Every structure is written in C-alpha cells, then in structure tokens.
C-alpha cells in the first residue's frame, strides 16, 4: 500500500506491507513495515510477523463437542479508532459486520467467530491490529480450565500442643 508524504520538493512515496503468518494450529503473527521499496517492506514485515507470533486460545460455544472451534469468551481489541469484538459462535455460524472483514481480519481455518467491528474510519491497518489485539487478549483471561489442580492434605493435630 503506497503511503505519500508531502515535502517542499514534491511527494515522497513509501510502501507499507502488512503480513499475517500462522501455522493453522493455534499460533499467529502480524508484521507491518514501511520502506522505499516493496520487496524490502515485505521482507521486513515477514521478519516482524515471525517475531510477534502469539498463541491463540480456542474454546467452545455451548457443549464441549469435537475440537475447539471459536474464541473461549468475548474479547475486545482496540487500535486507534477501531474497536473489534470477537464473540463465541456456534460451529456453522459466521457473521461479519463489514463486507471485507473475513478477508481483512486474521482468522484460522475451521473456526467460527462472530465479529462486531465498529470503525470510526475504514482503516485496514488499524482493523488488522485491533483484531490481532483481540486474539492476543484470549490468554488475558484466567478461566477455571486454566487453574492448576489443588491437592488438599489432611492436617495432623497430634503435633499441636
């Protein structure tokens, strides 16, 4: 995506690249790089995306049948003026409030997420970064399935005088 800056001598054009990477098994990364050349911007964005890989926590909607297929709880991500809310959804459900959201948002296969996108301005970079922040927030909540098991021991009262 070309980005231009107005200078006294005219315009300076730079190219911004967005790269989303993942292994389709619960890890995703987002990289953004701006450079004078397209190839340099893409290479830099790939490196930054590999450095920013985060785990994606998946959950269920309703009963725990089959593999996890959605986000575990309602999560919200914000970047600039764009607010993205990811809501758990059933297996055969896909709702998007923006026409290009499935293509522009970061998703993983065989997943169902109801998205609520409230952008003040239609900025693709902020939409992607807000979605990435919402996906990263899935591990910010401590739920009972993440608790470590508690082992209770019987107290011996014979040693107390």
CB 21 within 8 A of CB 53: yes
> What is the arrangement of strands in the sheet containing 75-79, beginning at the earlier edge strand?
75-79, 82-88, 113-119
Bridge partners for 108 per DSSP: none
Q: What is the pLDDT along the chain (161 residues), one digit of tens a residue?
A: 667 676 777 777 888 888 889 888 888 899 989 898 989 999 999 999 999 999 888 887 777 777 777 788 888 888 888 888 888 877 665 544 443 444 444 444 444 555 555 554 457 778 888 888 998 898 887 777 778 888 888 877 776 66
Q: What is the pLDDT of residue 95?
A: 47
pTM of the model: 0.69
CA-CA distance, 159 to 68, in Å (whole number)? Answer: 49
CA-CA distance, 33 to 30, in Å (whole number)? Answer: 10
Q: What is the pLDDT of residue 116?
A: 53
Q: What is the pLDDT of residue 46?
A: 93
CA-CA distance, 29 to 83, in Å (whole number)? Answer: 19
Cα–Cα–Cα angle for 58, 29, 21, rounded to 5 degrees: 100
In three-state secondary structure terms, 58 is coil
The dihedral through the CA atoms of 140, 144, 148, 150 has a sign that is positive
CA-CA distance, 3 to 57, in Å (whole number)? Answer: 34
Q: Which residues have a Cβ under 8 Å from the Cβ of 49 and sit 6 or more positions away?
A: 19, 20, 21, 29, 30, 31
The pair of structure tokens assigned to 66 is: 């089959």
Q: What is the pLDDT of residue 94?
A: 53
């Amino acid at each position: 995506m070309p980005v231009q800056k107005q200078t006294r001598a005219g315009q300076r054009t730079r190219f911004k690249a967005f790269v989303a990477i993942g292994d389709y098994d619960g890890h995703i990364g987002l990289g953004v790089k701006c450079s004078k050349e397209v190839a340099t911007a893409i290479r830099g964005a790939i490196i930054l995306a590999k450095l920013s890989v985060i785990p994606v926590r998946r959950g269920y909607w309703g009963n725990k049948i089959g593999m996890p297929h959605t986000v575990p709880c309602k999560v919200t991500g914000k970047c600039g003026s764009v607010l993205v809310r990811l809501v758990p959804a059933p297996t055969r459900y896909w709702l998007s409030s923006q026409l290009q959201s499935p293509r522009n948002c970061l998703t993983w296969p065989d997943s169902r997420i109801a998205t609520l996108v409230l952008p003040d301005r239609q900025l693709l970079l902020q939409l992607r970064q807000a979605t990435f922040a919402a996906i990263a927030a899935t591990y910010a909540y401590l739920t009972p399935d993440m608790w470590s098991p508690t082992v209770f021991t019987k107290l011996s009262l014979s040693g107390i005088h």
